[in-house]
């Protein structure tokens, strides 16, 4: 499955649009990670616990979007975007969406004679 933020993929052409596909997940803070994050916020720096949690959430959203595209018979998703929103205090949603398409390799052009 080819997944890209662009609307065109060099070397391929979309022969059929299958429709909008999306994947999402909602994650809440973990008490242990929240305590570490609060301590880290006092001294400054990256909050690695939340960075890792959000990376896992993005991957899960992508996987769910790909599953939806595959169920439609697509072999690619173009124009992929991410969106994050707070659902309630301490819980965020990661949404990933794009257009599922059927891609075919473009015909190679014959080499020009010199």
SS (H, E, C) 8-34: CCCCEEEEEEEEEEEEEEEEECCHHHH
As to burial, measured by CB atoms within 10 angstroms (0-12 exposed, 13-18 middle, 19+ buried), residue 110 is exposed
> Quick check: is 46 in a domain?
no
Residue 113 lies in a domain: no
Q: Would you state the pLDDT for residue 19?
A: 97
- pLDDT band for position 86 (50/70/90)? confident
21 belongs to a structural domain = yes
Residue 43 lies in a domain: no
| Global model pTM greater than 0.85 | no
pLDDT higher than threshold 90 for residue 6: yes
Contact 65/20 with Cβ under 8 angstroms? no
What CA–CA distance (Å, rounded) separates 92 from 44? 22
**Residue 36 counted as domain residue:** no
CATH of residue 73's domain is 3.30.110.70
Question: Tokens 């979309």 sit at which residue?
Answer: 14
* CA dist., res. 107 & res. 76, Å (int): 18
pLDDT exceeds cutoff 60 at 112: no
pLDDT in tens, 23-81: 999 988 765 666 666 666 677 777 777 888 889 999 999 999 999 999 999 999 999 99
113 pLDDT above the threshold of 60 = no
Q: Give the count of domains, the chain.
A: 1
Whether 110 is covered by a domain: the verdict is no
Residue 17 forms part of a structural domain: yes
- 91 DSSP β-pair partners: 28, 88
Identify whether the C-beta of residue 2 lies closer than 8 Å to the C-beta of residue 12.
Answer: yes
CA–CA separation, 36 and 108 (whole Å) = 55
| Residue 7 is assigned to a structural domain of this protein | yes
Q: What is the pLDDT of residues 90-108, one digit of tens each?
A: 788 999 999 999 999 998 7
- Which range of residues forms the domain containing residue 22? 2-28+55-105
């Amino acid at each position: 499955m080819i997944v890209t933020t662009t609307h065109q993929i060099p070397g391929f052409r979309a022969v059929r649009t299958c429709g909008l596909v999306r994947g999402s997940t909602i994650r809440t803070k973990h008490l242990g990670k929240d305590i570490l994050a609060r301590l880290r916020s006092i001294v400054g720096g990256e909050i690695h616990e939340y960075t890792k949690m959000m990376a896992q959430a993005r991957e899960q959203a992508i996987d769910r979007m790909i599953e939806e595209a595959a169920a439609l018979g697509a072999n690619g998703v173009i124009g992929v975007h991410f969106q994050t929103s707070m659902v309630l205090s301490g819980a965020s949603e990661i949404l990933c969406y794009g257009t599922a398409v059927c891609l075919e390799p473009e015909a190679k052009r014959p080499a020009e004679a010199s």
